[in-house]
Amino acid sequence: MTILDEARAWAERDPDPDTRDELQALIDANATDALQERFSGTLEFGTAGLRGLLGAGPNRMNRVTVSHATAGLCAWLLHAVPEASTRGICVGRDARPKSDVFERDVIEVAAGAGIPVFVFTDLVPTPMLAFAALRLRTAAGVMLTASHNPPGYNGYKVYWENAAQIIPPNDAGIARQMAAAATKPIARMPLAEARAAGLLREIDGLREEYVAAIANEVAPSPDRAPLRIAYTALHGVAERTLREVLSRGGFDEVLSVAEQAEPDGRFPTVDFPNPEEPGAMDRVLALGDAVRADLVIANDPDGDRVGAAARGDDGFEVLSGNDIGVLLADDLLQQTEAAQPLVLSTVVSSPMLGRIAARHGARWEQTLTGHKWIQNRALELEREGYTYVFGYEEALGYAPSTQVRDKDGISSALRLADLASRLKSRGKTLLDARDGLWREHGFFVDRQVSVRFEGANAQSRMRSVVDRVRANPPKRVGGIPVVRVSEPDSTLLVFELEGGHRAMLRPSGTEPKLKYYFYAAGCVDEDGDLEAAKATTRSLLERIADDLTATSDC
């Protein structure tokens, strides 16, 4: 078949008039390059599911792709999970374009396979869907979201029966069944029939259960000082839930960026709705200055990540993902009474967590990148007698509660507010607490560099950069000898440098970005001059970063 024939065949079975019109326009214009981008491959199960640009064709997120994915998921569930046909799946959605339509497709296809579906009646943050999967003990969960990706993306995130994100072999099993589903008709049951048959059940009561469960983990303390918080949801779905959780937790003075408070998948005031991205927090930082807030908090659009800034002597300082991670870890380890406490982080996160864990007598493990690995490994270790306390990845993803077996930007925001208020009662800030950890444990300053790739072959081009560096690894980076090269997985290269420094690169699993991670280790000398130590170590970090990014020449 020619590319035009493929496009016509797809259009014939596409139930969505928007994507049919898109294809017809491209066919009429003989736009073979644009069609090639849409039909040159298929979306693959990556970080816990599918994520891609909205549009027509197998290499885009659309109703056909979602229907195939759901048919594949259901077939694999019936094969792999006992009582899947009675335990069912739960489904949630965010505010991105087509999320509502995709949710209906998931329900109709699952019901057509005889699998009950538990569904929220309105938009929910991703952590609430993960909470529902755990509370209801469903066979799986599906969240329609592209998290922090730019406008134009959507995604299909899958949780397994343990309420954690899918890992092998289940991701591969679903993918095989998805490919098989693309070759045959898919049974569907309309919503009204599914409801009448008892296969569609609403679960809105779980909203209140989530709020109560998260808020009750942080008891109001007499050691707190009043805290003023400036907040933004970045046009996402976390605002309502975060406010309820903070209020239950004793924090009522929360001032929002009004123009970013309502869910809007077009993200009209921000190019990249990710608190990590330069400029994404500009409006909430300005609000924080205007209202003299103590703490600035930003969730990403589906509420599973959180960014923060604390007021210092020269205004607000944005905390890095690792800053937040080590602050929360140290605080939670101080509070735990567990005999065998456990903390986890990913291989691209700061090694500083290992030093903090050792001080508290906790077990620390590093996993591959992503909370799917953190939580599945935590569940294994819990069966060995360890008590999970905290897990994090440097990309603003923190999991401080076993009520959600995934990162949760809402519960993490509450924990940050609680810590900040207790510090304020002693005349301290989160910045003071971070500096205290650095003085005690030494520190790893970190920097991340992201190089965005565009076009249908973005993934292959990113992999080729990694392959090129793998084939000819540098012997020195920034003038420092490389003492070890490791590959924790097929996409990640890690360079251990003399002196405890580290450089890494990998393609992102959720965005068309090649990501570099750099850590430089430092310590405070006998005179205690932390600022001088920071400056020296940061200068070294910049040298390492500049050298590797230039060497890999992406």
In degrees, to the nearest 5, what angle opens at C-alpha 277 toward C-alphas 543 and 142? 125
In degrees, to the nearest 5, what angle opens at C-alpha 236 toward C-alphas 60 and 212? 120
Distance, CA of 333 to CA of 382 (rounded, Å): 16
| Spatial CB neighbours of 31, under 8 Å, sequence gap ≥ 6 | none
Residue 318, helix vs strand vs coil: strand
- Residue 308 CB neighbours (<10 A): 27
Distance, CA of 108 to CA of 246 (rounded, Å): 36
Q: Write down the residue that tokens 């599906």 correspond to.
A: 142
DSSP output for 405-471:
SS--HHHHHHHHHHHHHHHHTTT--HHHHHHHHHHHH-EEEEEEEEEE--STTHHHHHHHHHHHHHH
**Sign of the alpha-carbon dihedral angle for 271, 273, 277, 282:** positive
- 374 contacts 391 by C-beta, under 8 angstroms: yes
- The first and second tokens of residue 364, run together, are 């620390």
* Phi, psi at 176, each rounded to 5°: -65, -45
- 266 contacts 95 by C-beta, under 8 angstroms: no
Among 40, 67, 85, 147, the active-site one is 147
Q: Write down the residue that tokens 């017809």 correspond to.
A: 24
Closest CA to 318 of 434, 452, 472: 434
Q: Write down the residue that tokens 């790893």 correspond to.
A: 444
Active site residue 147: yes
Taking the alpha carbons at both ends of the chain, their separation in whole angstroms is: 35
Distance, CA of 321 to CA of 304 (rounded, Å): 13
* Phi, psi at 89, each rounded to 5°: -130, 155
Q: Write down the residue that tokens 């005889």 correspond to.
A: 114
- Long-range pairs of 259-263 with CB within 8 A, sequence gap ≥ 24: 259/283, 260/232, 260/233, 260/234, 260/235, 260/284, 261/232, 261/233, 262/235, 263/94, 263/95, 263/123, 263/233, 263/235, 263/236, 263/237, 263/239
Instruction: Report DSSP state, residue 54.
Output: B
- The first and second tokens of residue 106, run together, are 């998931």
Q: What amino acid positions are annotated as catalytic residues? A: 147
